[in-house]
Structure 1
Amino acid sequence: MPPRDSYSYAAPPSAQLHEVDTPQEHDKKELVIGDRAYDVTNFVKRHPGGKIIAYQVGTDATDAYKQFHVRSAKADKMLKSLPSRPVHKGYSPRRADLIADFQEFTKQLEAEGMFEPSLPHVAYRLAEVIAMHVAGAALIWHGYTFAGIAMLGVVQGRCGWLMHEGGHYSLTGNIAFDRAIQVACYGLGCGMSGAWWRNQHNKHHATPQKLQHDVDLDTLPLVAFHERIAAKVKSPAMKAWLSMQAKLFAPVTTLLVALGWQLYLHPRHMLRTKHYDELAMLGIRYGLVGYLAANYGAGYVLACYLLYVQLGAMYIFCNFAVSHTHLPVVEPNEHATWVEYAANHTTNCSPSWWCDWWMSYLNYQIEHHLYPSMPQFRHPKIAPRVKQLFEKHGLHYDVRGYFEAMADTFANLDNVAHAPEKKMQ
């Protein structure tokens, strides 16, 4: 079954309330987890994960809750402390048969140990980024400047892959250790904030490709991945920029995003939220840059640094873009089930030894969105069974060749850029 151009979900969150409840007070905020409706009215503002919980109000949040809190006993304690009541006897969530099969499949994977971490795998991943940094520095030291910068650019991206898994707590299985790995990899390796990333990225996982919810769609003024986003642009200068976005995205836009994050957005977040451990990582990173500039010339070191950041940004951002950006969006007043979000708004890239390494198993993006807390190296093992589950329930399992997916991504950038012109013809 081929992918569709659009999807429609019959019950928006406000309507789903009436599936689970008797009429509620206007300001009351409830969501369903398991067989109980939880009142989160007074909890939304103090939810440790931020306002992401508000995205689930009025819906059956069972799968979202379980997959976001696989390793958090604290979350279960907080949940038990919230006011709750049984759902009414006639309650049945949307796609109840699909949800039941998914939850049974999840229990099978848990019994098989698929959520268990592998410390040898973590050691390999850490050793890899250390070795690549040493190799890059050695190449530059021996006069192979561009080769060394290329190596360091790639490992900057691989620090991004590694911190991503740390931020999902799927490395060691210990939340504190995984956060520490994320802080070190993202701070030293990329000059960025793990705390900022966790806050933003989990919103994406909760509602991928949903307008006004998924932060990965909130990309103006630098890029627009959908016509609805591009339509917001009124400035002639911004329209001119977007008209060239397919050509600018890899060499220019990714660099501007990385520099904006490194030099403004992430340091500001570290200061505002008092993440002094992350600020310490930046101090070490930029202390080294300053030392090199003092000894080898500021202009030379700045040029090398910009090239290094550009290569790393192209690597990580282009590979992230293939997973969702060319796919249909969800309307703000609609809500898909957890499995539908993964099936209809996510793309896999064909598995191979080189693609699995190049994308650090995030070419299995469907599996990652179903199970964000599962160690990513286990995704190849479960992928055939995920496909069978989708086929049973009439869902499209979208897998494309790596270069096909990349071509689709850049074609979408071009189509979005010129959509207003085509409508006028």
Structure 2
Amino acid sequence: MAPPQQETGLGGERNDGGSGSRRFFTWEEIGLRTGRIQPFLQERWLVIDRKVYDISSFYKRHPGGSRVISHYAGQDATDAFTAFHLDKQDVSKYFSSLLIGELAPDQPSSEPSKNQLLVKDFRELRSTVEKMGLLKPSNLFFVLIFLHIVLLDIAAWWTIWYFGASLVPFFVGVGLFTTAQAQMAWFQHDLGHLSVFTNSKWNHLVHTVLMGSVKGMPSKWWNNLHFQHHAKPNSFNKDPDLNMHPIVFALGKKLATELGMQKKKYMPYNYQHKYFFILGPGLLVPFFQFSVFYFTIKRKEWVDLALIIIYNIRVCLLYTPLMGFKYFMVYYWLSRFLESAWFVWVSQMNHIPMKIDYDKNMDWLSTQMYATCNVDQSPFNDWFTGHLNFQIEHHLFPTMPRHNYAKVAPLVKSLCAKHGIDYECKPLLAAFRDILHSLKDSGEAWLDAYLHG
């Protein structure tokens, strides 16, 4: 039975018959506070566990970045908050002063437009996962991961030192160095998602040191971009992984059609499935190199900048005496291009073929499922992708250590089957092929709209 309606005062306050007052809000009121509606409604509110928080002045100081929290302004952020934060009690200190009220008793726990049963079932699954201990990392697993990266890095240098820089050892060295860097990219991904240590501070500290000194990139830059992607995957204007749209690629039929209708032609998008091989990884290398320095200097992240400089000096001192500066430049940038290609194909095989659209403010499970798919499990696929062949499980539980993805996958499949949600899994080569098929389809949609729209 619904509770009796009380009179609503200014600003959503409801009087309770003289015994005191509490502030109650409706979803309609909260939905207006996105910071993007009208000049007099520049407030940003969000909901976590039925509590309403005003983040209007806090979002710019949010440790995880201003944009990732702003993406949930006017929405229910309960599952996103739970997914991203390891030490929730520690994080709550930031929010205590932002609390302005709670949902009215007659309001559902999530937006009325969402499937309340699905939201409830997913939260029960999350509770089951925690009770099963699947969010706890294995120290041995990650020690072995890191050791094999170190051995690959040493082997790359030793190959050039022992055999010289002639053609065969040169390319063997490039292969080993590229593999070490690619595997380090997956390992820093683990650290960034707080899944290596049980304590957030240790994850952040080691991530900062290794990301800067072993990858030559700033951890905060990565966090700022990557968590936006996780918050709203494949959501245009919110997922930074779509930033190359529409400059280089027209991604997704809907957005490609819009581009064509607007008569915009920055590239011949109907050929994008052919130039993806070169421009995809090729543009990522200078973009990353420019972005990391721009970000660190603009944000005054001097520790990150120092670590990046140390990385570049270290690599130069290790290789230049062995092959000279000119050949070292070829060695280094060829490796960066190959690593970029590795990263692009693995990271995009789970997303580009999936639904790409504007933010529809769906529930957490649906948001992730419509934007992600899996690749078949095998020892090689697990290693080659850094376990991102389990992209669905990774997106649903970002802090889960990757060695537990296979354990939670049957539970996720069962929940999806119950609610009629597709759980897509495919072979590795089919996933790569689907990238090109998707690019071809959206390119043709752009061309048709451009010529006939």
Q: Same fold (TM over 0.5)?
A: yes
- Secondary structure in 2 matching 1:156: helix
1:85 is matched with which residue?
A: 101
Does structure 1 residue 375 correspond to structure 2 residue 391? no
Residue 53 of structure 2 aligns with an amino acid whose one-letter code is Y
Gaps of 5+ in 1: 1-15
* CA deviation vs aligned residue, 1:340-386 (integer Å, no higher than 9, x gap): 11111111111112111111111111111110011111101110111
Greater shift after overlay, 61-70 or 414-423?
A: 414-423
Do the aligned partners of 1:367 and 1:379 also contact (CA within 8 Å) in 2? yes
Matches within 5 A, 1:95-244: 95-141=115-161, 142-143=163-164, 144-220=169-245, 221-227=247-253, 230=256, 232=259, 238-240=266-268, 242-244=269-271
How far the C-alpha of 1:22 sits from its partner, in A, is 10
- Structure number with bigger Rg: 2
How far the C-alpha of 1:21 sits from its partner, in A, is 5.9
How far the C-alpha of 1:17 sits from its partner, in A, is 5.9
How far the C-alpha of 1:27 sits from its partner, in A, is 3.8
How far the C-alpha of 1:301 sits from its partner, in A, is 1.2
Q: In structure 2, which of residues 66, 69, 72 is the aligned counterpart of residue 56 of structure 1?
A: 72
How far the C-alpha of 1:232 sits from its partner, in A, is 4.7
Matches within 5 A, 1:405-420: 405-420=431-446
Distance in 2 between residues matched to 1:211 and 1:173, nearest whole Å: 33
How far the C-alpha of 1:244 sits from its partner, in A, is 4.0
Matches within 5 A, 1:356-395: 356-395=382-421
How far the C-alpha of 1:185 sits from its partner, in A, is 3.5
1:5 is matched with which residue?
A: none
Greater shift after overlay, 205-214 or 80-89?
A: 80-89
Residue 144 of structure 2 aligns with an amino acid whose one-letter code is Y
Higher relative contact order (CA 8 A, sep 6+): 1
Distance in 2 between residues matched to 1:96 and 1:54, nearest whole Å: 23
Q: 1:35 to 1:238 in 2, by over 3 A?
A: closer
* CA deviation vs aligned residue, 1:324-352 (integer Å, no higher than 9, x gap): 112112324x2111111111111111111
- Secondary structure in 2 matching 1:32: strand
* CA deviation vs aligned residue, 1:46-82 (integer Å, no higher than 9, x gap): 2222222121122111111111112243311122222
Q: In structure 1, which of residues 258, 261, 265 is the aligned counterpart of residue 291 of structure 2?
A: 265
Do the aligned partners of 1:188 and 1:284 also contact (CA within 8 Å) in 2? yes
Distance in 1 between residues matched to 2:155 and 2:321, nearest whole Å: 23
How far the C-alpha of 1:253 sits from its partner, in A, is 3.0
Do the aligned partners of 2:26 and 2:103 also contact (CA within 8 Å) in 1? no
2:37 is matched with which residue?
A: none
2:52 is matched with which residue?
A: 37
- Secondary structure in 2 matching 1:84: strand
Greater shift after overlay, 71-80 or 322-331?
A: 71-80
Q: In structure 2, which of residues 61, 64, 68 is the aligned counterpart of residue 46 of structure 1?
A: 61
1:9 is matched with which residue?
A: none
Q: 1:331 to 1:283 in 2, by over 3 A?
A: closer
How far the C-alpha of 1:184 sits from its partner, in A, is 3.6
Do the aligned partners of 1:38 and 1:85 also contact (CA within 8 Å) in 2? yes
* CA deviation vs aligned residue, 1:157-189 (integer Å, no higher than 9, x gap): 111111111111111122232223323433334
**When the two structures are aligned, how many residues end up with a matched partner?**
407
Q: 1:27 to 1:201 in 2, by over 3 A?
A: same
Does structure 1 residue 323 correspond to structure 2 residue 350? yes
Q: 1:288 to 1:248 in 2, by over 3 A?
A: farther
Distance in 2 between residues matched to 1:235 and 1:394, nearest whole Å: 38
Distance in 2 between residues matched to 1:125 and 1:89, nearest whole Å: 49
Do the aligned partners of 1:33 and 1:60 also contact (CA within 8 Å) in 2? yes
2:4 is matched with which residue?
A: none
Distance in 2 between residues matched to 1:133 and 1:85, nearest whole Å: 53
* CA deviation vs aligned residue, 1:136-158 (integer Å, no higher than 9, x gap): 22222324221121111122111
Distance in 1 between residues matched to 2:206 and 2:446, nearest whole Å: 45
Greater shift after overlay, 230-239 or 368-377?
A: 230-239
Residue 440 of structure 2 aligns with an amino acid whose one-letter code is D
* CA deviation vs aligned residue, 1:239-290 (integer Å, no higher than 9, x gap): 24x454323323443133123212x110121122222332232222221343
Distance in 1 between residues matched to 2:87 and 2:282, nearest whole Å: 35
How far the C-alpha of 1:106 sits from its partner, in A, is 1.1
- Secondary structure in 1 matching 2:249: coil
Q: In structure 2, which of residues 277, 280, 284 is the aligned counterpart of residue 250 of structure 1?
A: 277
Distance in 2 between residues matched to 1:156 and 1:248, nearest whole Å: 25
Distance in 2 between residues matched to 1:194 and 1:381, nearest whole Å: 29
Distance in 2 between residues matched to 1:159 and 1:64, nearest whole Å: 26
Q: 1:182 to 1:248 in 2, by over 3 A?
A: farther
Q: 1:137 to 1:72 in 2, by over 3 A?
A: farther
Q: 1:357 to 1:222 in 2, by over 3 A?
A: same
Do the aligned partners of 2:346 and 2:385 also contact (CA within 8 Å) in 1? yes
Q: 1:223 to 1:27 in 2, by over 3 A?
A: closer
Distance in 1 between residues matched to 2:411 and 2:314, nearest whole Å: 47
Distance in 1 between residues matched to 2:447 and 2:265, nearest whole Å: 16
- Secondary structure in 2 matching 1:186: helix
Do the aligned partners of 1:251 and 1:310 also contact (CA within 8 Å) in 2? no
2:308 is matched with which residue?
A: 282
Instruction: Give the TM-score normalised by the residue count of structure 1.
Output: 0.88
How far the C-alpha of 1:42 sits from its partner, in A, is 2.5
